[in-house]
Structure 1
């Protein structure tokens, strides 16, 4: 076809690809036709069940460690690092929320982070992240 039309073979291949008949993802597959083509196509955007369980466990462990702080410290850490709504808030925003200065929020945050670094407090999370599963 390429010779006859005097065009490159690559162009003919492109045109042939475009003109192929589409196949529905609902096309039955197998002898009993109880499966569909779409059942065998991986959704790369979906979270695997194993990853979903890991994410849930990580969230639970993080909550457990954050619960060792005072309620005020916990809320400040959650706001600063976006652990509540996915939005990281500035010192100024958190300060306005609590009715204190951004410097006071910085001090409370620093104290809370020091507490969280203590091995006694972060052991469950550290064990989880290390993959040992030991508490």
Structure 2
């Protein structure tokens, strides 16, 4: 399977993007492993997109538990994932009936689990990561002119440091204010940036 997917990576690889082929091919291999596990690990097959959604739910649940210091509510998980709370209840029911994502995969000496092979939607593809780095370099000079609070808000909202685009609620939690207050500050910063003489080349990024 690795050979097959490796050839697929070769066919789709574009060296002009500026990233290594090994990185690109690895991404395709991980996608194929995910689908193979979804097909073979259950008597009743669950669609791949649902397997990935369950993994994202667990990752979000774990992250919110750490941030809040308690068991997160279904509504809080739904807000963080950007999906209806009704879907969270469906995910919870399905996840109770599926194979554990913590089950070992591979040899006894291999510490990998099934969850390790489920892609996180907050992790960028190689081409997205390359573009993000270029954009980060371009806007760093502009962001240096903002005050620390304004800069931190934009960094979190647009994933300028880690590639993770945080919600208004999450940024509000970071600063101890409401999501509406963060939205107001963000709008003011956007207006300030629109008037910057170097911002025209980044217009598509902020739109």
Greater helix proportion: 2
TM-score by length of 2: 0.34
Q: If you compute each CA radius of gyration, which structure gives the higher value, 1 or 2?
A: 1
TM-score by length of 1: 0.50
